[in-house]
Amino acid sequence: MDMTLQPQKAKGGASGYLTIDLSALRDNYRALAAKAPHSITSAVVKADAYGLGADIVAPALYDAGCRHFFVAHIDEALSLRLHIGSDAKILVLNGLQLGNDVSCAALNIIPVLNCLEQIAQWSAQAAALGKTLPAALQIDTGMSRLGLAPYEVDTLLATPDLLKGIDLTCIMSHLACADEPDHEANAVQLAAMRKATERFPGVPICFANSGGIFLGTDYHNALMRPGIALYGGAPSSAHPNPMKPVVSLSVAVVQTRTVPAESFVGYGASLRTTRETRLATIAAGYADGLPRSLSSRGAAYFNDVRLPIAGRVSMDSITLDISALPEGTLTHGSLVEIIGPNQSLEAIAEDAGTIAYEILTRLGQRYRRHYIHPEKQTAASSTIIRDK
């Protein structure tokens, strides 16, 4: 992503710019699909496409050829149905809640059935409508989060009427440690998945998440469901990130000042300067998805120069030590890089003691959003930035 596409100064009241490169997003989707050409590659767009705007992200993926989308909740599915083609399949990972089976059936939304109660609810809805309804079936292969336990699989197969009226579109499970290729849990879960799915002959298998795609062909099966890798996050902690960056974030300077040695900075007076220090306060804080745990640990960048966070991260602002820059370099409205060429999602997450998923999904709505649309091309530039 070319940071030069961003304005040099904040304009129009913007506190910062969150740029989403839809061209890179689509390239990532196609690169993941190419890893397993005999599998169908879906897209996980839950949590508003990891905070990037499902109403824009999902259509871009649809245009790239994606026809299977995963969300977490029924309300996400209802909203998504308005933005992609009617031929797209939308699956709800958390399955059915009480009372939403009617909406699922009416809008051809596919629940992921995680327990015997959800199976009974969906079967009853099929009976009420006098038709067969599609569903995915999740089996717990060792994560102990969602899906049928082995004894529940036994119950299900011993009582065929439990699945009456249900067309199983796939059997799925979730890998707990796919981002750690050498973790023993991967092989244990693969063995458990094979054992379970042998009991459902002919039903397609959905197993590989982002990391799972890179574990090899044994994990690919009929349907893959990448999430974080689509958005530029690293699918594996053991190898360099092969995905294109999709997100960049720059934030505006609100004020600069010079303080003498022995000055306190920020809440709790947690930082005391040891020398005369030049500071800049920027217009984002933990309410904008930049965790308080970055206090006196994280950094921003300007022209490749690291600017350490000085003191505590506040709700709406962060103070930076800008002493490494020539005086006058940053002024009111100047933009500093939070995520970009100098600082990846993984880097800022590491400083915050968290994961890239959490950083991405918490960025919020207060930044000015720019979407780089690959279909908008001019002679001067291959991309164009547009506000949402």
**H helix or E strand, kind and range, residue 386:** strand 385-387
* Cα separations in angstroms, 224 against 171, 195, 218: 12, 19, 12
* Cα separations in angstroms, 244 against 195, 311, 318, 341, 368: 36, 33, 28, 11, 22
Which of the residues 46, 50, 367, 371 is marked catalytic? 46
Residue whose pair of structure tokens reads 């740029």 in the numeric block: 19
Q: Are 61 and 26 in contact (CB under 8 A)?
A: yes
Q: Kindly give the pairing relationship between strand 43-44 and strand 68-71.
A: parallel
Helix (H/G/I), strand (E/B), else coil: 105: helix
Helix 116-129, helix 150-158: angle, nearest 10: 30
Helix (H/G/I), strand (E/B), else coil: 133: strand
How far is residue 9's CA from residue 231's CA, in Å, rounded to a whole number? 26
Phi, psi of 286 (to 5 degrees): -70, -20
Which of the residues 62, 244, 267, 357 is marked catalytic? 267
Mark whether 195 is an active-site residue: no
Partnered with residue 280 across adjacent β-strands are 256, 320
How far is residue 253's CA from residue 235's CA, in Å, rounded to a whole number? 33
Residue whose pair of structure tokens reads 């294109």 in the numeric block: 244
How far is residue 282's CA from residue 321's CA, in Å, rounded to a whole number? 11
Contacts of 195 (CB under 8 A, 6+ apart): none
CA 159 to centroid of chain Cα atoms:
38
Mark whether 286 is an active-site residue: no
Tokens standing for residue 382:
């291959």
Q: Are 236 and 228 in contact (CB under 8 A)?
A: no
Count Cβ atoms below 10 Å from residue 127 Cβ, excluding itself: 12
Tokens standing for residue 311:
């003191």
Tokens standing for residue 177:
């440690």
* Cα separations in angstroms, 175 against 108, 186, 189, 279: 27, 7, 7, 45
Residues recognised as catalytic: 46, 267
